[in-house]
Amino acid sequence: MDYLRELESKRVHDSFDETMKKVGRCVCVPGPIIVGAGPSGLAVAACLKEKGVPCVIIERANCIASLWKLKTYNRLHLHLPKKYCELPFMPFPAKFPTYPTKEQFVEYLEDYVKKFDLEPQFNQTVESANYDHSLGLWRVKTVGVKEFRYSRWLVVATGENSEAVVPEIEGINEFEGPVVHTSSYKSGETFSGKKVLVVGCGNSGMEICLDLCNNNAQPSIVVRDTLHILPREMLGRSTFGVSMWLLKLFPICLVDRILLFISWFILGDTSRIGLDRPNIGPLQLKCTSGKTPVLDVGTLAKIKTGEIKVRPGVKRTTCRTVEFTDGSAEEYDAIVLATGYRSNVPSWLKDKEMFSEEDGLPRRSFPHGWKGEYGLYAVGFTKRGLLGSSMDAKRIAQDIEQSWKAEVKPFTAFTRTPAPAS
């Protein structure tokens, strides 16, 4: 391939050799480098494999799907039905329930890796990746390894959830009980008999409250803002499925009205229990701000019975007491921060064009965010879950295949010995 030959001649002739003496080895990867072995990175690798394009997957953890294996609570199930969560070329087993458990999802991903014979390189954190304009290659460096890896293509698959968001709360260091982020929360058993404040009311915060309740804890949930809660199922089908179906027939504002009407019918008026809805509908809100509606799995019923209390924003904490923005105060034994995650891309990707430094997400909105300049790609940053990852993965593999063929074909034609004439 041209770039391998070029790299070799550079190595011999210019200051590149000097750099290598200081830094260490240089390895040319004969295909894309994928950073991250979560569902998105694995999906791209599988799509490439199907097209005969080799790749290298670099993963900071010691396993695939580290978010699911190491950073999620025990009772987690897929929030969406399995048919909307499958990766390319492999459906979920028919024996799995509609909403597989996290163990089942991990099992599915392990099988995916086996099926496509993927071999991620574990325990390697990418600390920098930058485009070398003189070589026309991406240069990737991992922590503690004296080696640069070079490739024509770089696929960013480190996810929207790579770092926990921990908000600054006045006095939180003085709080005497445990303060844990959802990434280290496993089960409500640990909090049995305790008063727990859950800060954040997304899907995780809501479900953790339910888990705490089911384990005889007394949870309160902080709801600072308006939010949309929808039943997980409506009209005998998943709410997600119903939305997708309705969107084929009606404009989004009408679909929102239909969803809200059915939700009101099933869940009642949520503002009566302190959960005001935003002015714009759930799907429009998702499109404009990326804010996902909460799919209720039973938490609302516990809020209605008063087993889970709703609290306004936190102003400050002291030894055991939490003061709220409405002036009220209450004592708690523990705090769970369900305050979400963010992308870590700006910390290691030196190219500032494709990803915003503010939120670490592609600057171009869906569906255009998957492709950048010079062979740079993003998978899993659409705020559309695993469905979005699968869509990205297919597009990326197709795009890379084209340039791969253009570069490999002339090279193989050049090296192949012609078959003897019969």
Ligand X SMILES: Cc1cc2nc3c(=O)[nH]c(=O)nc-3n(C[C@H](O)[C@H](O)[C@H](O)COP(=O)(O)OP(=O)(O)OC[C@H]3O[C@@H](n4cnc5c(N)ncnc54)[C@H](O)[C@@H]3O)c2cc1C
Q: How far apart are CA 179 and CA 177, in angstroms?
A: 6
Q: Look up residue 146 and give its two tokens.
A: 């004296």
CB 293 within 8 A of CB 265: no
- Find the binder of ligand X among 389, 391, 393, 404 (CB under 6 A): 389
Is 125 a binding residue for ligand X by CB under 6 A? The answer is yes
Residue type, 304: K
Neighbours of 186 (CB within 10 A): 13
- E strand residue ranges, 123-232: 126-132, 137-142, 147-151, 154-156, 163-164, 179-181, 195-199, 218-222, 229-231
Is 81 a binding residue for ligand X by CB under 6 A? The answer is no
CB 158 within 8 A of CB 35: yes
Q: How far is the CB of 190 from ligand X (least distance, A)?
A: 18
Is 104 a binding residue for ligand X by CB under 6 A? The answer is no
Is 60 a binding residue for ligand X by CB under 6 A? The answer is yes
Is 293 a binding residue for ligand X by CB under 6 A? The answer is no
**CA 372, 375, 376, 379 torsion: positive or negative?**
positive
Q: How far apart are CA 50 and CA 109, in angstroms?
A: 17
Interface pattern 347-366 for ligand X (x via CB under 6 A): -x------------------
Is 47 a binding residue for ligand X by CB under 6 A? The answer is no
Q: How far is the CB of 64 from ligand X (least distance, A)?
A: 7
> 3-class DSSP state for residue 326?
coil
Is 45 a binding residue for ligand X by CB under 6 A? The answer is no
Q: How far is the CB of 145 from ligand X (least distance, A)?
A: 12
Q: How far is the CB of 227 from ligand X (least distance, A)?
A: 17
Is 19 a binding residue for ligand X by CB under 6 A? The answer is no
Q: How far is the CB of 187 from ligand X (least distance, A)?
A: 14
Q: How far is the CB of 422 from ligand X (least distance, A)?
A: 51
Neighbours of 271 (CB within 10 A): 10
- Find the binder of ligand X among 38, 177, 200, 372 (CB under 6 A): 38
Report the residue closest to ligand X, judged by CB. Answer: 38
**Of 7 and 55, CB closest to ligand X:** 55
Q: How far apart are CA 283 and CA 63, in angstroms?
A: 34
Cβ-Cβ contacts under 8 Å for 199 (sequence gap 6 or more)? 167, 169, 205, 222, 314, 335, 336, 337, 338, 339
Q: How far is the CB of 69 from ligand X (least distance, A)?
A: 9
Interface pattern 313-332 for ligand X (x via CB under 6 A): --------------------
**Of 3 and 96, CB closest to ligand X:** 96
Report the interface residues with ligand X, using CB under 6 A. Answer: 35-41, 58-61, 65-67, 72, 76, 78-80, 85, 125-126, 157-159, 161-162, 204, 344, 348, 380, 385-387, 389
